[in-house]
Structure formats: structure tokens, C-alpha cells
Chains A and B, each alone.
Chain A
Amino acid sequence: MSRDVQKEIADLVKSKPVVLFMKGTPSMPMCGFSARTVEVLKACQTPFDAVNVLADPDIREGVKAYGQWPTIPQLYVHGELVGGCDIAVAMYQSGELQTLIAGDVAK
């Protein structure tokens, strides 16, 4: 049986306001970039869903195609790719990430 990985990912990122594809888990991140992105989300005091791509090779490759983004972590807010660790950190520092998560941005 072939999986429709792209649809699975689309459903995942739309199922929750904040979804992070990462290596490892929030309590045990396996990569410094993933760890830093988790720290940023904790600092935003936002609940988020984490998807451990190391546990699922199809998702790991699939999310790169889905996001048109070659690396993990990938942060999705309200179904849209925000970026990787560097962008998440920069947007947190400027306050944009908190605003985006709060949904205060005019659509």
C-alpha cells in the first residue's frame, strides 16, 4: 500500500495552529536546530504539535517536498510554513512570531 504522504502532511499542518516537524521530540531533541526551535515555541508560551521525522522516513522526505524547504526543522503556523530555526528565532526576537501565532495578522 502506498501512502499519500503529501496529504498526510497537509492534514497535519492544518489540524493544529502550530506544528513543528523536528528531529527527536520536544523533551529529547536530536538536533541543535530542532532544540532551539522548541525553545522558541516554549518561550512563546504556545501549545504546539511536534512531529518526529526520525520516526518516519516517508514524512522526513515528504515534508521537504511539501514545504519546498530542504531542511528540518520546519515550523508551520496556521497551515503555512514559517521557516526553519533561524527564521523562527529571528521572528521570535522581533515579536512577529508571537503575533503570527496569536492570529492578529490581517489575512
Chain B
Amino acid sequence: MQNFIENTLKNAFPDAEIHVVDTTGGGDHFDVDITTAAFAGRSVLQQHRLVYAALGEKVGYEIHALALNTHIPG
């Protein structure tokens, strides 16, 4: 699941710097730290929605919990 998150976000945001941590080791709770220019000019709410949209319907189901930190480069 960690690879899925990293690869999916990398595809969705090719310029992104991404750090994913499996916080419990159980493969369903993750910390995601992501920096991409795609977030520029967007509110934090919109930035999180972009990430959720990229990950699709796994969030809230197979991905039980996702702690998100979104950043704009620079």
C-alpha cells in the first residue's frame, strides 16, 4: 500500500517530492508529506482534495487513515 501511495502520487504530481510513512506498520495508516507546484494558489482544503482525488476510493477504506502535510515548493 505504501508503494501504491507513492507511485499514484508520483504519477499524479510528477514534480512532487513525496514522503510516505506507514505509521503503524499495518499497511493502513500513513503519514504523507508532499511538496508540489500543483498546490500553488490553492487553499489547504483544495490541496488535500487534490491528493484524495489522486488516491481515489481507497482513502477511507483500505487506507484507513491518512495524515496529510501539503507544501508548495520554495
Contact = CB atoms under 8 A, between A and B. Distances in A.
Interface of A: 31-33, 64, 68-72, 81-87, 90-91
A13 to B, nearest CB: 15
Contacts, number: 35
Nearest to B70: A86
B46 to A, nearest CB: 10
Interface of B: 44-45, 48-49, 52, 57, 59-60, 65-69
B69 A71 contact: no
Contact of B44 (A31, A33, A70, A83): A83
Give the interface SS of chain A, mostly helix, strand, loop or mixed.
mixed
Given A68-B49, A69-B52, A87 B44 contact: yes
**Closest A-B pairs by Cβ, 8 of them:** A70-B60, A70-B59, A83-B45, A71-B60, A70-B52, A86-B68, A87-B44, A86-B67
Contacts of A72: 60
Contacts of B57: 70
30 contacts: A31-B65, A32-B65, A33-B65, A33-B67, A64-B60, A69-B48, A69-B49, A70-B52, A70-B57, A70-B59, A70-B60, A71-B52, A71-B59, A71-B60, A71-B66, A72-B60, A82-B45, A83-B44, A83-B45, A83-B48, A84-B48, A86-B48, A86-B67, A86-B68, A86-B69, A87-B44, A87-B45, A87-B48, A90-B44, A91-B44
